């Protein structure tokens, strides 16, 4: 059995766990804990080690999706999770510009760990105060060749689109 892995990363509460849950064929193996810090009490629980989802491709091949913990104090896990990955998705909550700087820091860190292909998703585009992807590109200082995809992580087609765009980038990298 061959296995490949993709990593889903991004700031705290950017929608990583939901993204994996939407396409995983198994219930996501989540390592969530109740949030202790008042400043991070935007949601009730957070991922502390990793989320783990699976998509069986055929009898010989399985794709694993790993979600990184979003809180800064767990970022020692990132290097371990990034080892051997096919590529990565950086999730950004379009409605929380205060997390954009953190998203850039995460992106730079992952690029340093492994310069594999990646895509950035402008998640939560269904929210009223979501930023336009074009404005987010400027705020995140992404160059034009970086794929920034509008996303709603509860929507399967939207998540599929992000994964497919990442796979196209991987294929392009192989052919170049």
Residue 57 found at the interface with another protein (CB under 8 A)? yes
> Cβ of residue 153: shortest distance to another protein, in angstroms?
14
- Tell me: does residue 72 bind another protein (CB under 8 A): no
Question: Which span (46-54, 91-99, 144-152, 155-163) binds another protein, by CB under 8 A?
Answer: 155-163
Rounded to an integer, what distance in angstroms lies between the CA atom of residue 88 and that of residue 108?
A: 12
With contacts defined by CB under 8 A, how many residues of the chain interact with another protein?
34
Residue 113 DSSP one-character state: H
Closest CA to 19 of 63, 59, 49, 52: 52
DSSP H/E element including 167: helix 156-175
Cβ of residue 125: shortest distance to another protein, in angstroms?
A: 20
Find the binder of another protein among 4, 48, 139, 146 (CB under 8 A). 4
Residue 156 binds another protein, judged by CB under 8 A: yes
Whose structure tokens read 């160059």?
143
Radius of gyration of the chain (CA): 15
**Distance (Å, rounded) from C-alpha 117 to C-alpha 7?**
11
Of 33-41, 72-80, 108-116, 127-135, the window that binds another protein (rule: CB under 8 A) is 108-116
Find the binding residues for another protein in span 5-24 (CB under 8 A).
Answer: 23
**Nearer to another protein among residue 4 and residue 146 (C-beta):** 4
- List the one residue out of 106, 100, 107, 112 whose CA is nearest residue 147: 107
Q: Does 77 bind another protein (CB under 8 A)?
A: no
Q: What is the DSSP string of 47-109?
A: EEEEEEEEEEEETTEEEEEEEPP-SGGGTTHHHHHHTT-SEEEEEEETT-GGGHHHHHHHHHH
Q: Which stretch binds another protein (CB under 8 A): 8-16, 27-35, 113-121, 128-136?
A: 113-121
Sites of contact with another protein (CB under 8 A): 2-4, 23, 55-58, 61, 63, 84-87, 101-102, 104-105, 108, 114-117, 156, 160, 163-164, 167-168, 170-171, 173-175
């Amino acid at each position: 059995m061959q296995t490949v892995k993709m990593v889903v990363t991004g700031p705290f509460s950017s929608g990583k766990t939901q993204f994996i849950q939407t396409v995983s064929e198994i219930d996501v193996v989540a390592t969530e804990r109740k949030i202790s810090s008042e400043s991070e009490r935007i949601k009730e629980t957070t991922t502390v080690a990793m989320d783990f989802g699976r998509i069986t491709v055929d009898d010989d091949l399985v794709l694993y999706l790993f979600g990184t913990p979003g809180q800064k104090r767990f970022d020692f896990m990132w290097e371990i999770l990034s080892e051997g990955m096919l590529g990565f998705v950086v999730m950004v909550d379009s409605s929380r510009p205060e997390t954009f700087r953190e998203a850039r820091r995460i992106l730079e860190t992952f690029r340093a760990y492994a310069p594999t292909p990646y895509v950035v998703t402008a998640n939560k585009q269904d929210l009223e105060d979501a930023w336009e992807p074009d404005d987010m590109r400027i705020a995140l200082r992404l160059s034009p060749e970086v794929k920034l995809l509008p996303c709603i992580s509860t929507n399967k087609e939207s998540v599929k689109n992000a994964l497919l765009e990442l796979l196209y980038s991987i294929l392009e990298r192989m052919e170049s």
